Amino acid sequence: MASLKDLKVRINSVKSTQKITKAMKMVAAAKLRRATERAEAGRPYATRLSDVVSSLASRITVGPQSPKLIAGTGKDETHLIIVATADKGLAGAFSTNIVKAARAKAESLEAHGKSVYFYVVGRKSKAILNRVFPGKIIGEYDTMAVKNPGYEHAQAVADDIIDRYESGRFDVAHLAYAEFKSTLSQVPQVDQIIPVVPAALEETKGASAAVEYEPGEEEILEALLPKNVAIQIFRAMLENQAGFYGSQMTAMDNATRNAGDMINRLTIKYNRQRQAAITTELVEIISGAEAL
């Protein structure tokens, strides 16, 4: 049984931990507001650009002169999954859930005889992927020093990915990230970003007669396709940042509550042992007095 001194030390230790988790919750809450604003502001543009590119892709006839980002490599054998996660922990299962979604996608592709490789954005996925898929990480982008992801960071990742694609390192690229829904909900997504998936015919039928493109669909696509890859990666970074702070705030709130519960239990235990010790001392004093 722990002594009164040991219990007192544990209570003080848990109180110190509670102060830290409470402070981290407040910091995450403050950063969450700004991150949420950025994610929500960037979402409509990224979605609309993706829709425009998909719509354009559905209207052209793919040929030798078509941009490779829409025409593809002519094969579907090697897939690259860009896994965008956080760099830090203390955010519950946020990064783990993204890795799980990427792992499920990879295992599904491998079950169909495809080769799968990974490109890591953020450190938290690297250790898990190296353990489950040894030797499959072919590239990474370190965001540890990036406090607020900017378009230039997404552009750097996109340029590296497109260079690898143009050199024939892979045939299809997927982007794994967590879409921010609310503080309590971040939904892992795995979207194909290379080559572009053409929109379904029924989605473009109504607009096809009312829109004319100048100089032409293929010329526009050649300019928009690299930008679309960067924008989708930028969106993933913004969504991840908001989701990370939301998940961290929730995790720190739970940790603060758990610390409070533990303090209460330890305090009750400490008071009971202290009362028992006092009672024992009183009994000994009374017994000694009676003996005299």
118/161 Cα distance (integer angstroms): 11
The 10s digit of each residue's pLDDT in 31-65 is: 998 999 999 988 898 988 888 888 877 777 766 67
Q: Check: CB of residue 240 under 8 Å from CB of residue 42.
A: no
User: Residue 75 to residues 38, 126, 143, 225: CA-CA distances in angstroms?
Assistant: 37, 28, 32, 19
140/231 Cα distance (integer angstroms): 18
The 10s digit of each residue's pLDDT in 89-108 is: 888 888 899 999 999 999 99
In the block, tokens 């052209």 appear at 60
251/96 Cα distance (integer angstroms): 14
250/245 Cα distance (integer angstroms): 8
Calculate the average pLDDT of the chain: 85
Q: Which of 14-28, 58-72, 92-106, 115-129 has the lowest mean pLDDT?
A: 58-72
Task: List Cβ neighbours of 68 (8 Å cut-off, separation of 6 or more).
Answer: 165, 166, 195
Q: How far apart are the first and last CA of the chain?
A: 33
For the segment 65-73, the average pLDDT, to the nearest whole number, is: 78
Q: Which of 52-61, 126-135, 149-158 has the lowest mean pLDDT?
A: 52-61
Q: What is the pLDDT of residue 88?
A: 84
Q: How many CB atoms lie within 10 A of CB 54?
A: 18
The 10s digit of each residue's pLDDT in 209-266 is: 445 666 666 677 777 888 999 999 999 999 999 999 999 999 999 999 999 999 999 9
Q: Among 235, 240, 242, 241, which residue's Cα sits nearest to residue 48?
A: 235
Q: Which CATH superfamily is domain 38-247 in?
A: ATP synthase, F1 complex, gamma subunit (3.40.1380.10)
Asked if domains 4-21+252-291 and 38-247 share a fold, the reply is: no
Which CATH architecture fits 4-21+252-291? Orthogonal Bundle (1.10)
Q: pTM of the entire structure?
A: 0.83
Residue 127 above 70 pLDDT? yes
Using the 8-state DSSP alphabet, how is residue 91 labeled? S
Q: Among 194, 247, 172, 187, which residue's Cα sits nearest to residue 57?
A: 194
Give start and end residues of each alpha helix (H) in 58-133: 68-71, 94-111, 126-132
Q: What is the dihedral of CA 234, 236, 238, 239, to 10 degrees?
A: 160
Listed by start position, the domains of the chain span 4-21+252-291, 38-247
For the segment 147-173, the average pLDDT, to the nearest whole number, is: 90
